[in-house]
Amino acid sequence: MTPSRTNGEAVISTEALTKRYGDVLAVDRLDLVVREGDRYGFLGPNGSGKTTTVRMLLGLVFATSGRIEVLGHEVPRRADAVLHEVGSLVEGPAFYNHISGRANLLLFDAAGAGGSRRTRRSRVGESLERVGLVGAAHRRVGTYSLGMRQRLGIAAALLRRPRLLVLDEPTNGLDPAGIREVRDLLVEINDDGTTVFLSSHLLAEVEQLCTRAGIVHAGQLIADQSVADLLAPTGLVRVTSPDLHSATRADGGAGWLDPVSADAHGATLRLGSLTVDDLVRRLVGAGIRVDEVVVDRPTLEEVYLELTGGASEAGVDQRRVG
Amino acid sequence: MLLVELRKLVGRPRTWVTVAMMLTLPTVVAVLIKVTGRAPRPGTGPSLLAEAFNNGTLFPAAALGIILPFLLPIAVAVVAGDAVAGEASAGTLRYLLVRPVSRTRLLVVKTVVLIVYVLATVLLVAAVSYVVGVQLFGSKPVSSISGGAPLSTTETALRILGAVLYIGWSMLALAAITLFFSTLTDSPLAAALGGLGVLVGSSTLFALDAAASIRPYIPTRYWLAFLDFFRNPILWRDIERGVALQAVYIAVFFALAWANFTTKDITS
């Protein structure tokens, strides 16, 4: 999951982006940077300003104040120069239900400037193939399932081989197999050089797919890190051992054994300056049997709930093992 | 982009239903008159019907008079109301705009499609009713409503064309008003009803004596002036006023629609 390449220049950047709807402050001085090659997960609870931000990036909603640059151009002023290089899915796909999936893509492709008319059919065919919809392409969109509509939406976003994909909840309505397909597809597209910006409330999706994550809460960005850093070890290790519950003084007072909690099956220890390797060596040296050692990492859910204040208390102490 | 929008219009069953209705109504009227032989007395009933009974070549003008008061404007209001709000309610508006299609361009293209729709419908009605009229009532050299020398075929064709363009211009004013409503709401029904409200309101005020002082400014005031194309000589006074009045409505409401649409947050 960790990218080996170094990511390049900013493809999306916002400065103090603010949107006010009447009395409601939907987005509040948001500074966002998405770099070329990122798979950026934009996380936030409902009503946190995610969709408003996405719409501002695409020039659909006008900011109250602040600046937006997408692919080096100012939006919305230069939106026309940028948007043909951006594929997007905003709040669910939308199609003309009375015509077929293929006809919808042909219309959609023909609507914008650029994109040669000669290669339109093959472009559409390629996109349909990529999302696995060739078989159903001749059917009226009205007969599609939610998952098929979603895939058709992704096909539409991919039509012009965009440099940047802006996707709002792309796996909405898909079954587990479909979610996996979309995930694999997005990774593949990203490997081909397309930056992926994905807004979601599905933590597992971001955890499995994204290389960077921004967490937005009440219109502000409260975290913006690589997913690897967000999920970095907490400095605690869970050691399963039949001896630890009664042997909290096993270090003979040297102080390296620093339990946070203990129970009949083992204990959660603070690593301090030790490496896991050192700790295990010392435990064994002190005659403590070690059955299992698990380095504690927060799940994205925990990080997210802690940052957004969704949980009253978050931390390793409250978690039950097993 | 224009081709895409035209294809959407043509591919929509609703378009053909409205066109079929506008072709059917005058035909039904013609058949009924032919079968019963009870033409309206001159000066009564739908304009020109009495004359058309004697001369089928005048029936296109009568047919336009039949669809003009309600059928045509209702269809225009529905199509214009759908223009922006229909895309918004289907969710396709946001995808068109991020395609990207500039908002001004989208509005212009939608307007051009509306004009094509109105002119094509009116021309079709004129053509079909000409055939129907000649078949049922026979043809004579056309003499105008107010008598005088018979008109040449070219002259008749030119006059029908003039009437068609005049009706198109009148409908464009209603289309502009409805298009403005269409940029205000995400509901095509609400926008179309707004347009119809203007139509019904205008007709009501037009019939009201107390509204005489504002009558010259009511949108529908000069709609029927297209009949003056069939007088000899053509009676330009009302036609000119109608063109000018509609021009004001067209300019004002397109400007409003443009101003609103290009500065609006698209949240649909």
Which stretch of A36-45, A66-75, A106-115, A184-193 has the lowest confidence by average pLDDT? A106-115
The SS3 of residue B39 is coil
Alpha-helical (H) ranges within A112-200 are 120-130, 146-158, 176-191
- Residue B1 touches partner A, C-beta closer than 8 Å: yes
Residue B123 confidence class, pLDDT cut points 50, 70, 90: very high
A31 in Cβ contact with A214 (< 8 Å):
no
Residue B193 confidence class, pLDDT cut points 50, 70, 90: very high
Instruction: Give the Cα separation of A216 and A47 in Å (integer).
Output: 10
Instruction: Give the Cα separation of A17 and A8 in Å (integer).
Output: 22
b (16+ CB within 10 A) / e for B149-180:
eebeeeebeebbebbbebbbbbbbbbbbbbbb
Residue whose structure tokens are 């093992």: A321
Q: For residue A199, is pLDDT > 70?
A: yes
Residue A313 confidence class, pLDDT cut points 50, 70, 90: very low
- Residue A91 touches partner B, C-beta closer than 8 Å: yes
Whether residue B11 and residue A98 make contact (CB cut-off 8 A), yes or no, is: yes
B118 in Cβ contact with B22 (< 8 Å):
no
pLDDT tens digits, B8-64: 888 888 899 999 999 999 999 889 888 887 777 655 555 567 777 777 778 888 899
Residue A15 confidence class, pLDDT cut points 50, 70, 90: very high
Report CA-CA distances (Å) from A68 to A14, A15, A34, A91, B95. 4, 7, 12, 20, 20
Angle at A15 between CA A9 and CA A18, to 5 degrees: 140
Residue whose structure tokens are 């005659």: A287
**Which positions in chain A touch B90 (Cβ < 8 Å)?**
94-97
Mean pLDDT score, A54-82: 93
Q: For residue A322, is pLDDT > 70?
A: no
**What per-residue confidence (pLDDT) applies to B146?**
59
Backbone CA torsion sign across B184, B188, B192, B193: negative
Backbone CA torsion sign across B239, B28, B158, B56: negative
Residue A273, token pair as written in the block: 């300056």
Q: What's the 3-state SS for B150-198?
A: CCCHHHHHHHHHHHHHHHHHHHHHHHHHHHHHHHHCCCHHHHHHHHHHH
Mean pLDDT score, A209-220: 90
Mean pLDDT score, A38-52: 89
- In order, the DSSP letters of A177-200 are HHHHHHHHHHHHHHHTT-EEEEEE
- Residue A24 touches partner B, C-beta closer than 8 Å: no
Which stretch of B3-12, B36-45, B131-140 has the lowest confidence by average pLDDT? B36-45
Mean pLDDT score, A49-67: 94
**What per-residue confidence (pLDDT) applies to A321?**
34
Residue A170 confidence class, pLDDT cut points 50, 70, 90: confident
- Rounded to a whole number of angstroms, the distance from the CA of B185 to the nearest CA of chain A is 16
- Residue B38 touches partner A, C-beta closer than 8 Å: no
pLDDT tens digits, A106-118: 999 988 877 788 8
Backbone CA torsion sign across A178, A179, A182, A187: negative
Instruction: Give the Cα separation of A151 and A132 in Å (integer).
Output: 8
Report CA-CA distances (Å) from B127 to A33, A289, B22, B50, B140. 62, 98, 12, 19, 17
pLDDT tens digits, B101-122: 999 999 999 999 999 999 999 9
Which stretch of A68-82, A142-156, A299-313, B245-259 has the lowest confidence by average pLDDT? A299-313
**What per-residue confidence (pLDDT) applies to B147?**
59
Structure-model confidence comparison of residues A14 and A80, the more confident one: A14
Instruction: Give the Cα separation of A102 and B176 in Å (integer).
Output: 33
Query: Best mutation site among B99, B104, B266 for testing chain A: the one with the most A CBs within 10 Å?
Result: B99
Average pLDDT of the residues of chain B: 88
Q: For residue B87, is pLDDT > 60?
A: yes
A201 in Cβ contact with A213 (< 8 Å):
no
Type and span of the H or E element at A22: none
Predicted ipTM?
A: 0.82
First-residue to last-residue Cα distance in chain A = 26
Instruction: Give the Cα separation of B115 and B171 in Å (integer).
Output: 9
**What per-residue confidence (pLDDT) applies to B144?**
62
Which stretch of A283-287, B147-151, B228-232 has the lowest confidence by average pLDDT? B147-151
**What per-residue confidence (pLDDT) applies to A177?**
86
Angle between helices B153-184 and B236-262 (to 10 degrees): 30
Backbone CA torsion sign across B166, B168, B169, B173: positive
Whether residue B92 and residue A79 make contact (CB cut-off 8 A), yes or no, is: no
Instruction: Give the Cα separation of A159 and A126 in Å (integer).
Output: 8
The SS3 of residue A212 is strand
Instruction: Give the Cα separation of B101 and B95 in Å (integer).
Output: 9
Residue A119 has what DSSP assignment?
T
Mean pLDDT score, A168-180: 85
Q: Is the peptide bond before A233 cis (omega within 30 degrees of 0)?
A: no
Mean pLDDT score, A38-66: 92
Which residues neighbour A30 within 8 Å (Cβ) at sequence distance 6 or greater?
A14, A16, A17, A18, A49, A53, A66, A216, A219, A220, A221
Residue B192, token pair as written in the block: 């179309």
Q: Is the peptide bond before A76 cis (omega within 30 degrees of 0)?
A: yes
B116 in Cβ contact with B6 (< 8 Å):
yes
A121 in Cβ contact with A106 (< 8 Å):
yes
Report CA-CA distances (Å) from A99 to A70, A120, A153, A242. 33, 17, 15, 67
- In order, the DSSP letters of B73-108 are HHHHHHHHHHHHHHHHHHTHHHHHHTTT--HHHHHH
Residue whose structure tokens are 């960790």: A2
B9 in Cβ contact with B15 (< 8 Å):
yes
Whether residue A111 and residue B91 make contact (CB cut-off 8 A), yes or no, is: no
Question: What's the Rg (C-alpha) of chain A?
Answer: 24
Instruction: Give the Cα separation of A303 and A315 in Å (integer).
Output: 9
Mean pLDDT score, B217-226: 90
Whether residue A111 and residue B265 make contact (CB cut-off 8 A), yes or no, is: no
Q: For residue A138, is pLDDT > 90?
A: yes
**What per-residue confidence (pLDDT) applies to B141?**
66
Backbone φ, ψ for residue B206 (5° rounding): -60, -35
**Which positions in chain B touch A55 (Cβ < 8 Å)?**
94, 265-267
Give the chain A residue whose CA is nearest to the CA of B261: A60
pLDDT tens digits, A254-299: 778 888 888 888 888 888 888 888 888 888 888 888 899 999 888 8
Angle at B265 between CA B259 and CA B268, to 5 degrees: 120
**What per-residue confidence (pLDDT) applies to A316?**
33
Average pLDDT of the residues of chain A: 85
**What per-residue confidence (pLDDT) applies to A3?**
43
Mean pLDDT score, A129-133: 90
- Residue B95 touches partner A, C-beta closer than 8 Å: yes
The SS3 of residue A226 is strand
**What per-residue confidence (pLDDT) applies to A314?**
31
